[in-house]
Structure 1
Amino acid sequence: MTTQATRPTTGVSRTAVIIAQARAREHARPDRLFTDPLAEPLVEAVGWIPVQAAGRMNEEHFVLRTRFFDDCLRDAAGAGCTQVAVVAAGLDTRAFRLDWPDGTRLFEIDLPGLMAYKEAVLGVQGARPACDRTVVTADLRDDWPDRLTAAGFDPGRPTVWLIEGLMMYLTEDDNDRLLGRIGALSAPGSRLALEHVNRAYTELPDMRAVHERLRRVGASWVSTMEDPVGRLAGHGWRAAVTPQTELARRHGRPVPRLTDPQIVGDARMWLVSAERVGAERTP
């Protein structure tokens, strides 16, 4: 049983529940793009959160995003990145639902309250990870690398990093600091997968109600990224963007309305994959 204090009902933690809801609904589909039997229990323990029209439209994006990052992590692990770091892990369940190579070690980093809630639900469900899973409780705006390495993370081992649904909630400086710290911990051969948005996306009329609701729960978006390839190059990564149009075609799904260039013009919700190419500057 979880206490009210540990339930993710406010701030960015609330968005973790909304994303888990999308995964739960996708898991129930006969043509699902991924399996996630733990998503529904994680939602049910706190209660389903009503979403606005834009949130419902974005649910197709959340599904494609989940599959995209699943594939990024699987490809990286197959290429030898058997150390995985999920940044702001929230209610992510990839440690349990993906088939990991032998010897994979996965670290989940997030706030103590959210992780306590998650661990309680996973315990009730008797969930067993498919890899060596370690939870690291930390605020990503603080000095989390020391906590990560103290938990057994090896900076000399190629790592695949995942930053899903986080960067828009951090300031530009915090994002640069985060990327700098990740780079400093990334051995040659490491990979990175992340999501961000450009300014045009934040200004979409369909997003106004979303921004107002996020503001009310203390989870406003405070940064954008106009050129993810160039931004990551400055941190020592060779990056590529995969458009949702390509993912929709690949998986036989409709293009999510709020990511369809024919509807939203220059607005973009970037899905980025990258490989380590050089030494990182000092964070």
Structure 2
Amino acid sequence: MSSDQQWDIVSGVGVTALAVAAGRATESTRPDALITDPYAPAFLAAASSTAPFPTTLDELEERAGASGLWPLMTAYLGVRSRVFDDFLTGAAREGARQVVILASGLDTRPFRLEWPAGVRCFELDQPLVLDFKLAVLTEQGAAASCAHTPVRADLREDWASALDEAGFDAALPTAWLAEGLLPYLPPEAEERLFKEIDRLSASGSSLAVEDVSAVDELAGDALVRDGGTALGIDLPSLLPDGTKRGPRDQLDSLGWRYDERPVLESARRLGRPMESASRLMEHMFHAFARRP
């Protein structure tokens, strides 16, 4: 993926956001659903004429399910979404009045979660992605349960200035989320991301990230490759070149207190054990850090 490439919801990295919305739509239909996203089906319907994969759940199951990846992916997305839902709402209950969702994609947390009074949620992503999402939410009559501020910015560029111009207050403790983001950032952009988060974070701020420590191995796995092909996603082409230090090393060096939890442990805690996917998920972690 070139450093100047932009995308909408049916191209580039944007396609992965649409696939994640499909996963949340599927999760929402489960009797043991860990999250409910009432808007995910509307995103699929709105993208139906240009999406690279079917946008009805039955057709998705038929096409992507044949690879074996779809059931694992949707089950995991339920776990991931719930873990980070709990992180953000927990931080807000503890007093964080700013939430920043980086590369928010088609996430709808400002609209589907209940927030304490006084919380402001900033969502950063590519302009065309946010425009698509907001148009669909408007059509659905969706109302945010917090102060909602979309910020059109490329996280490989000077996103911090855009956030500042949108009204972000660096003097307030902030809860940051980087979900499904780090694998797509070049090494230098990832380093810059963490440095900017540190610079903008008051004492008591917190951060959650999804850490995939062996993303090249995961992308090259036959199950992931075949499943991606079924969804029209060439995952290796979306991943940048270069070697990264990893979030633990970067945040430790910035003075943050860092902890991580294997994805399989998160799944067990939520009553959805995924040992059948251990080969895929053994290098995946949900990581949490706090700025003293």
Return the TM-score normalized by structure 2.
0.84
How far apart in 2 are the matches of 1:108 and 1:168?
19
Q: Deviations over 1:14-41 (max 9, x none)?
A: 1001111111111122221112111111
Amino acid at match of 1:37: P
How far apart in 2 are the matches of 1:227 and 1:144?
21
What is the deviation of 1:182?
1.0
Change (3 A) 1:230 1:91: same
Instruction: Find 1:103's aligned residue among 118, 122, 132.
Output: 118
Amino acid at match of 1:237: W
How far apart in 2 are the matches of 1:178 and 1:62?
24
Amino acid at match of 2:46: A
Is the contact made by 1:197 and 1:225 (CA closer than 8 Å) also made in structure 2? no
What is the deviation of 1:120?
0.8
Return the TM-score normalized by structure 1.
0.86
Query: What SS class does the counterpart of residue 180 from structure 1 fall into?
Result: helix
- Name structure 1 gaps, 5 residues minimum: 1-5, 278-283
Instruction: Find 1:242's aligned residue among 244, 252, 261.
Output: 261
- Name structure 2 gaps, 5 residues minimum: 1-6, 49-54
How far apart in 2 are the matches of 1:267 and 1:93?
28
Percent sequence identity over matched residues?
Answer: 39
Q: Which residue matches 1:19?
A: 20
Q: Which residue matches 2:102?
A: 87
What is the total number of aligned residue pairs between the two structures? 269
Instruction: Find 2:250's aligned residue among 231, 235, 238.
Output: 231
Is the contact made by 1:134 and 1:151 (CA closer than 8 Å) also made in structure 2? yes
What is the deviation of 1:203?
4.7
What is the deviation of 1:239?
1.4
How far apart in 2 are the matches of 1:155 and 1:21?
35
- Give the alignment of 1:187-206 within 5 angstroms: 187-199=202-214, 200-206=217-223
How far apart in 1 are the matches of 2:284 and 2:219?
9
How far apart in 2 are the matches of 1:97 and 1:38?
8
Change (3 A) 1:55 1:152: same
Q: Deviations over 1:184-240 (max 9, x none)?
A: 110100000111212254454433446776447952354676754333212332111
Q: Deviations over 1:102-157 (max 9, x none)?
A: 00000000001111111110110010000000011011111111111111100110
Is the contact made by 1:77 and 1:101 (CA closer than 8 Å) also made in structure 2? yes
Q: Which residue matches 1:169?
A: 184
| Aligned-residue CA RMSD (Å) | 2.5
